[in-house]
Structure 1
Amino acid sequence: MVWSDMEFQVLLLILFLCLTSERCEGKVNHKPSTCGYPPSQWCRSLEIAVECGVQKQCLELNATRPNSAAPPVEVTLYYESLCPGCRAFITQQLYPTWTLLKDIMRVNLVPYGNAQEMQNAVICQHGEPECHANLIEACILHMASHEAFHVINCMEAASSVLPATQPCLQLFAPSVRWESISACVRGPLGHSLIHENAAKTRVLNPAHTHVPWVTFNGVRDPHKTVSGPGSTWFVIAHSPAQSGLHLGWLQICNRSKHDLYWELSGY
């Protein structure tokens, strides 16, 4: 059985989070304390695999590893800037995971959510302040490039999002002037960016029913993506029919208690 590039990359992501969890296939695992390599490099050589404690897993992976490098797994979050659940998801789940796995994981943020675009205005679920914050974050994403996620996480982690904008921008994207962001928000560029986010949200299939709403490589599988109480999210990968090393879905919950666990499904 030969894995596709994308399946192999998602499998590396799952392997990393499995090995850093407290439970993997019913066995207790502990994160290797001496591993100084990012997860995409764990299987690069036998020496690295031994140092990171993943020799057995890498032997299994390398047996079916594709020849070419796979692109990062693309995680897209559709959210609202002042939605409490979205703020918790960004700061407690998505951002911490991205900081660990950003070499194999690309995050796209789409601030809009349950807003409604009218002829000459946008009505947001949490009122005008949220519309303003959505505009600011859309402009930051457009202008701050690689630093944008750091800035937005800083804003969403603050006690109040809007007052934190300038301090977070200065801290994480000092090369981006606040005057440029403000001009974007007040001018046609900001409104064009929000219109693009509205269009991206409208064409979701299946249509979003709540926020935060997450897709993986542009796909949301309703049979494998489950929403429930607490902080949970799922990495999606279609499982092969063959026996052996499988791709499935990964659930992360209760990060504050460091209770990470995974399961395989689809068989």
Structure 2
Amino acid sequence: MKMRLLLPLLLAIWISAPFGYCSLPTSSCLQPPAKWCSSLDSAVQCGVLKQCLESDFRRSRQTEEPVQVGLYYESLCPGCRKFLTEMLFPTYLLLDIMSVTLVPYGNAQETPVAQKYTYECQHGKQECLGNMIETCIMNMTDMAFPIIFCMESSADVIGSAESCLKVYAPDLSMDKVMSCVNGDMGMQLMHQNALQTKALNPPHQYVPWITINGVHTEDLQEKAMSSLFTLVCSMYKGTKPAACGGSQKLHYKSYCHNE
């Protein structure tokens, strides 16, 4: 099952539940949340058939390319964590007209050593580890975004990785992720993050650094930080979803500058 199907489903369940509380699956539901819409049987058993069908129907009616939102960030940067958890992920849940690219690297420095690379991160070795874990997760499961949200919203970003995996990707073990982190695959994936970050035009000056459809301007950054929801709705060229008729706005600013 694709992540895109699950996220609007979970939001729909939360919205439809009394007083905004998330309703529990039925007692016959033996699947983790990531599997609820994987088959007709599991959707019925977990009592979410209606939401699964509605989510799939909304996606099938899209005629235009989604708005592409790129986030260049660091795993332990407070401003990055705040934007990802309080603005980017909630907007992605609400709007199925946007796609998200996450690039965890930010203000890190890459040094080539004997045909390999070493990394120095703005917030220390733990941030380099967090960047690498999240990079490997993105390469290993299509449930990466909710896992990363789970990690970044935790008091302990790295320490929460294993429990977040168990919730959203129970088939992916922490041992497998760490094999990627400590192996050539993780290094090559991080090298690609470094190249992608260094290729930004204009060059990034701080993180979170946001691109919309591959473009960064201070105006777009300001609008994304003020209300990404409103920005995505305004830039989508297709028929606006019903959610865009609302007036949701979230405001804050916090940056980690490139020193």
Same fold, TM-score > 0.5, yes or no:
yes
| Deviation, structure 1 residue 217 | 1.1
Provide the rounded CA distance (Å) in 2 between the counterparts of 1:181 and 1:86: 23
What is the aligned counterpart of 2:130 among 133, 139, 144? 133
1:90 aligns with 2:84: yes
> Where does 1:162-201 land on structure 2 (aligned, <5 Å)?
162-201=158-197
One-letter amino acid of the counterpart of residue 125, structure 2: E
Tell me the amino acid that sits aligned with residue 75 of structure 1: V
3-state DSSP of counterpart to 1:138: helix
* CA deviation profile, 1:135-159 (whole Å, cap 9, x unmatched): 0000001101x21000000000001
Aligned-CA RMSD value: 2.9
Cα distance, 1:233 vs structure 2:
4.8
Q: Equivalent residue of 2:156, what SS? A: coil
Secondary structure (helix, strand or coil) at the match of 1:117 reads: strand
* TM value normalised by structure 2: 0.63
Please list the CA deviations of residues 58-79 of structure 1 after superposition, one character each: whole Å capped at 9, or x if unmatched: xxxxxxxxxx921211111000
Q: Does 1:154 align with 2:147?
A: no
For structure 1, the residue ranges without an aligned partner over 5 or more in a row are 1-35, 45-67, 239-249, 256-267
Whole-Å separation in 2 of the counterparts to 1:207 and 1:251: 31
Query: 2:7 maps to which residue?
Result: none
Checking the alignment, whether the CA contact within 8 Å between 2:211 and 2:221 is kept in structure 1 is: no
Given that 1:232 and 1:251 are in contact with CA atoms closer than 8 Å, whether structure 2 keeps it comes out as: no
- Identity among equivalent positions (%) equals 44
TM-score by length of 1: 0.61
1:160 partner SS: coil
C-alpha distance after superposition, 1:222-260 (max 9, x if no partner): 3443289xx63553777xxxxxxxxxxx994338xxxxx
Find the counterpart in structure 1 of residue 109 from structure 2: 116
Shift of residue 104 of structure 1?
Answer: 1.2
SS at match of 2:159: helix
1:75 is matched with 69
**Hey, what's the Cα distance between the residues in 1 that align with 2:67 and 2:110?**
30
* Residue segments in structure 2 that go unaligned for 5+ positions in a row: 1-50, 236-246, 253-259
Pair 83,233 (structure 1): closer, same or farther in 2 beyond 3 Å:
farther
**Counterpart residue type for residue 134 of structure 2:** E
> How many residues were matched structurally?
182
* Structure showing the higher helix proportion among its residues: 2
2:155 aligned counterpart, secondary structure: coil
Q: Distance in 2 between matches of 1:166 and 1:207?
A: 34
Partner SS, residue 118 of structure 1: strand
Of 226, 229, 252, which aligns to 1:232?
226
Counterpart pick for 1:211 among 191, 198, 207: 207
Q: Secondary structure at the match of 1:162?
A: coil
Question: Quick one: structure 1 residues 212 and 233, their matched pair in 2 at CA, closer, same or farther if it must change by over 3 Å?
Answer: farther
- The structure with the larger Rg is 1
Shift in Å at residue 206 of structure 1?
Answer: 0.9
Give, in whole Å, the separation in 2 of the partners of 1:233 and 1:100.
13
